[in-house]
C-alpha cells in the first residue's frame, strides 16, 4: 500500500529486497534506523546477497558513522560499492526535490550517482571518505535537537516570568541567539498542530546515536545527553510521532506549573 503512489511509468514494485536488487545497478536505501538497514541488507533475502558485482549501494539513512563503516565492509565482501549519502530537508523540501545530500565515499562513485541525486536534491556536498556524510548529518541533527530543546526551555522560563508567547516569539526570533530554523516552527507551536515534518522519536534516535558515537570517539557531550533524555521523556508523554518541535509541549507542560498549596 505504501508503494502505490510511486508506481507507474517511473516506478515498479518488487515484493522483496532480493528481487529488486537483481534488477538494478544502483540501489538507494532510506530507512529509519541501523537495525532496519542491516535487516534489509544482510538477512537471507537481503539485497546485498543479490546485487550484481560492482553495483553501487547508496545509503541515505540517518545512522551512526561506525555502522556505515560496518556496511562498507559488508558490501566490499560481496563486491558491492558503498556510498553514505544522508539528507537534510523537511518533507516539503523532499517533495520539491530540494534536499541536501551529505556524501561520504569515493569520488568516482559520487560522479556515478550524481545525476540520480540531483533528481531528489538541489545541493550535494562531498564531505569525505566513507562515513563522513553520516558524520556530518549527525552533527547537524545534534544542533537541531539541542537547539529546539533549548528554545523550548527558554520559552518556558519566559512564560514563567510573565512574558507572553507572542512577545517571546516576536523578540527572540529577531535575535542572533535563535537559530533560523526555529522561525519555521512558530506556526506549529502557536497552533499546537505538530504534524510531523521530522518525528520527535527519530530526533531522539539520532541524538542517541550521536551519544553512542561520542562515547566511541572519547568525546564528552553533557548537553546532548541531557537533551536526548528530554526527548525520551517527551516520547513517554505521547509526543513520539509528532514533529520534534513538540518538545515545546513537554518543556512548558503541566509539570512546570506551580503545585497547589497543600492544606
Domain ranges of the chain: 4-130, 136-253
Q: What is the pLDDT of residue 120?
A: 95
What SS3 class is residue 15?
coil
The answer to whether residue 63 scores a pLDDT higher than 80 is yes
Whole-number Å distance between alpha carbons of 142 and 221: 10
What SS3 class is residue 239?
helix
The answer to whether residue 8 scores a pLDDT higher than 90 is no
DSSP state of 2: T
Whole-number Å distance between alpha carbons of 125 and 128: 9
Q: What is the pLDDT of residue 254?
A: 56
Q: 539520532: which residue's cell?
A: 206
Average pLDDT of the chain is: 93
Q: What is the pLDDT of residue 86?
A: 98
Q: In this predicted model, which residue has the larger pLDDT, 256 or 64?
A: 64
The alpha carbon of 189 is separated from its chain's Cα centroid by a whole number of angstroms, namely 20
Cell numbers at 144, concatenated: 537541531
Cα 95 to Cα 98, 121, 140, distances in angstroms: 8, 10, 21
Q: What is the pLDDT of residue 156?
A: 95
Task: Please classify residue 207 by burial: count the beta carbons closer than 10 Å to its beta carbon, then call 0-12 exposed, 13-18 middle and 19+ buried.
Answer: buried
User: Residue 33 — very low, low, confident or very high, per pLDDT cuts 50/70/90?
Assistant: very high
The CATH architecture one would assign to domain 136-253 is: Orthogonal Bundle (1.10)
Cell numbers at 49, concatenated: 546477497
> Measuring CA to CA, which residue among 41, 216, 214 is closest to residue 227?
214
pTM: 0.90
Q: What is the pLDDT of residue 224?
A: 96
**Contact call for residues 64 and 217 (beta carbons, < 8 A):** no
Whole-number Å distance between alpha carbons of 211 and 230: 14
Whole-number Å distance between alpha carbons of 245 and 263: 38
Beta bridge partners of 56: 26, 81
The answer to whether residue 232 scores a pLDDT higher than 60 is yes
User: Residue 162 — very low, low, confident or very high, per pLDDT cuts 50/70/90?
Assistant: very high
Residues with catalytic roles: 137
Q: What is the pLDDT of residue 5?
A: 80
Percent of the chain clearing pLDDT 70 (strictly above): 95
Q: Are strands 81-84 and 26-29 parallel, antiparallel or unpaired?
A: unpaired
Q: What is the pLDDT of residue 259?
A: 54
User: Residue 149 — very low, low, confident or very high, per pLDDT cuts 50/70/90?
Assistant: very high
**CATH code for 4-130?**
3.40.50.720
Q: What is the pLDDT of residue 260?
A: 57
The answer to whether residue 263 scores a pLDDT higher than 70 is no
First vs last C-alpha separation in the chain: 58
Amino acid at each position: 500500500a505504501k508503494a502505490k503512489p510511486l508506481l507507474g511509468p517511473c516506478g515498479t514494485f518488487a515484493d522483496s529486497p532480493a528481487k529488486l536488487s537483481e534488477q538494478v545497478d544502483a540501489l538507494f536505501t532510506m530507512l529509519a534506523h541501523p537495525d532496519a538497514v542491516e535487516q534489509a541488507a544482510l538477512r537471507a533475502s537481503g539485497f546485498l546477497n543479490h546485487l550484481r558485482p560492482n553495483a553501487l549501494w547508496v545509503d541515505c539513512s540517518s545512522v551512526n558513522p561506525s555502522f556505515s563503516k560496518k556496511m562498507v565492509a559488508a558490501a566490499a565482501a560481496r563486491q558491492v560499492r558503498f556510498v553514505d549519502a544522508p539528507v537534510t530537508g523537511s518533507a516539503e523540501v523532499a517533495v520539491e526535490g530540494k534536499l541536501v545530500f551529505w556524501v561520504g565515499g569515493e569520488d568516482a562513485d559520487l560522479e556515478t550517482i550524481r545525476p540520480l541525486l540531483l533528481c531528489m536534491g538541489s545541493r550535494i556536498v562531498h564531505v569525505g571518505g566513507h562515513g563522513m556524510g553520516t558524520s556530518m548529518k549527525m552533527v547537524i541533527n545534534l544542533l537541531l535537537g539541542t537547539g529546539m530543546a533549548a528554545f523550548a526551555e527558554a520559552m518556558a522560563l519566559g512564560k514563567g516570568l510573565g512574558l507572553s508567547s507572542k512577545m517571546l516569539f516576536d523578540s527572540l526570533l529577531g535575535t542572533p541567539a535563535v537559530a533560523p530554523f526555529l522561525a519555521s516552527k512558530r506556526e506549529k507551536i502557536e497552533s499546537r498542530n505538530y504534524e510531523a515534518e521530522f518525528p520527535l522519536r527519530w530526533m531522539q534516535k539520532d541524538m542517541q546515536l550521536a551519544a553512542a558515537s561520542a562515547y566511541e570517539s572519547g568525546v564528552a557531550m553533557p548537553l546532548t545527553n541531557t537533551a536526548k533524555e528530554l526527548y525520551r521523556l517527551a516520547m513517554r508523554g505521547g509526543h513520539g510521532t509528532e514533529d520534534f518541535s513538540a518538545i515545546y509541549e513537554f518543556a512548558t507542560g503541566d509539570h512546570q506549573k506551580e503545585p497547589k498549596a497543600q492544606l
